[in-house]
Amino acid sequence: MGDRVPKGRLVRGSKLGRLAAGQALRGMGTRLSMIGRTEQARQVLAERSTLQAAQQLVTVLGGLKGAAMKLGQMLSVLDVDLLPEAHREMFRVKLAELRDQAPTVAFPAMRTVIEGDLGPMARVFADFDETPIAAASIGQVYRARLHDGRAVAVKVKYPGVDDAVEADMRNLATFSRLWKSMLPSAADTDVLDEIARNIGSELDYVREARTQHRVAGRYRGHPFVTVPDSIEEYCGPHVLVTEFLEGAPYQRIRALPNAERNRIGELIYRFYISSLFTDFEFCGDPHPGNVMLAADGKLGFVDFGLYHSMDPVHVELERACLRAAGEYRGDDLYDMWVQRGIVDPQSGVTAQECLEYVWAAAGWHLVDEEITITPELATGALILAVDPRAAEFRGMRQQRLPPEHVFSRRSDLFTFAALGQLEITNNWHRIAREWLYDEPPVTEIGRETARWRAGAQP
């Protein structure tokens, strides 16, 4: 790759195609079932046109970076074993590149960005490793050491990436089929504006530094979770400096024994899902690259560019809808959705369809039994949400998802997908009852966390 990100609207606004499959996650009553769906998914993915479009997608997105590459990262949670065997390795490699191994920008260009924000590097850093340790959608991460001896991670924007993302935002109409395949009702103007606002917030490193500092403070002393603090005095519009978190990546977590993976899975659930309903905040970017296991056994979380606060009124609506679905109160769910403008009462969508849709999309919070989230199951859930050709819930797909719920639903979906990468087993409903019904925790992690929270209150 060259030293700058392609940023012209015409260059970036090419027709990209879409990746779609026909597998669905179904769950009504007490069981989630994938029976009979796997072969259908393979057949859809085997269509030549779909494979060609998907190959173009992963290839082009990796070169564009910016908001376009963020879509590629979203796709990286797909279970490639559902692809025809002849194509699996190509997709595995391409998606790994999008998630973990994005093309790098030569350091002289990145040094110019760093010094543009911080001045001469020698004034700030006693040592700086010029080889990036990670590359993501809008920047690269380096390891360095401050003059006071602290090891730090330095996230630096790619030169020109602000203009590139701005071009992507102007091109949302061009990308509309991709956005629509990733998020319900994404062709809606209000929703597109919300996507643009939130994706654009990733460019605001000053905001991210403040957010990370606040979240790090919230989790300081937590018995199971650690969040590295930002060092705000060395953060600028294009450079973000944080404490360095030494830890095992997701790939190594996948190799741990079942009991340890299950423990980690509960922590991931609590960090990405429970936080919305307990703190009215959540991270909108749950994916394997943002989670690592620290040497002291705590689970570390990084990257807060898409961290959101949510109006308690909207959170309470989501809670009430999930409770209604879990209690099979379809009429109540339908009425809430009509009042909120989610369902058009003239559309023909029924209360039963609303109930079944919630169970299919969020049933893992509602089923009172142990569920093992496998890559296949997680991919099925993703396809249910993203495949615009699926016959199931066609009426629901034409309804309007309010923009303020776009990223909370995305976070839920991709947390499920991330857990599928670890093949985690738990009774998720028993954890969810803490925030669904304000019940006391029943797991040891939950009880210990509650004791810590009680002791941490001023």
Rounded distance between C-alpha atoms, residue 158 and residue 66, angstroms: 9
Strands, sheet with 225-226, edge to edge from the N-terminal-most edge strand = 225-226, 299-301, 291-294, 247-248
Please state, as a whole number, how many other Cβ atoms lie within 10 Å of the Cβ of residue 447.
Answer: 12
Rounded distance between C-alpha atoms, residue 149 and residue 126, angstroms: 8
End-to-end Cα, the chain, rounded Å: 51
Rounded distance between C-alpha atoms, residue 60 and residue 98, angstroms: 10
Residue 225 has which token pair? 């979770």
Rounded distance between C-alpha atoms, residue 122 and residue 308, angstroms: 35
Please state, as a whole number, how many other Cβ atoms lie within 10 Å of the Cβ of residue 221.
Answer: 11
Candidates 256, 45, 231; CA nearest to 155 is: 231
Catalytic residue, chosen from 285, 303, 332, 412, is: 285
CA-derived radius of gyration, the chain: 22
Candidates 66, 129, 65; CA nearest to 97 is: 65
285 catalytic per annotation: yes
Residue 335 DSSP label: H
Rounded distance between C-alpha atoms, residue 85 and residue 87, angstroms: 5
Residue 176 has which token pair? 């509309």
Which residues are catalytically annotated? 285
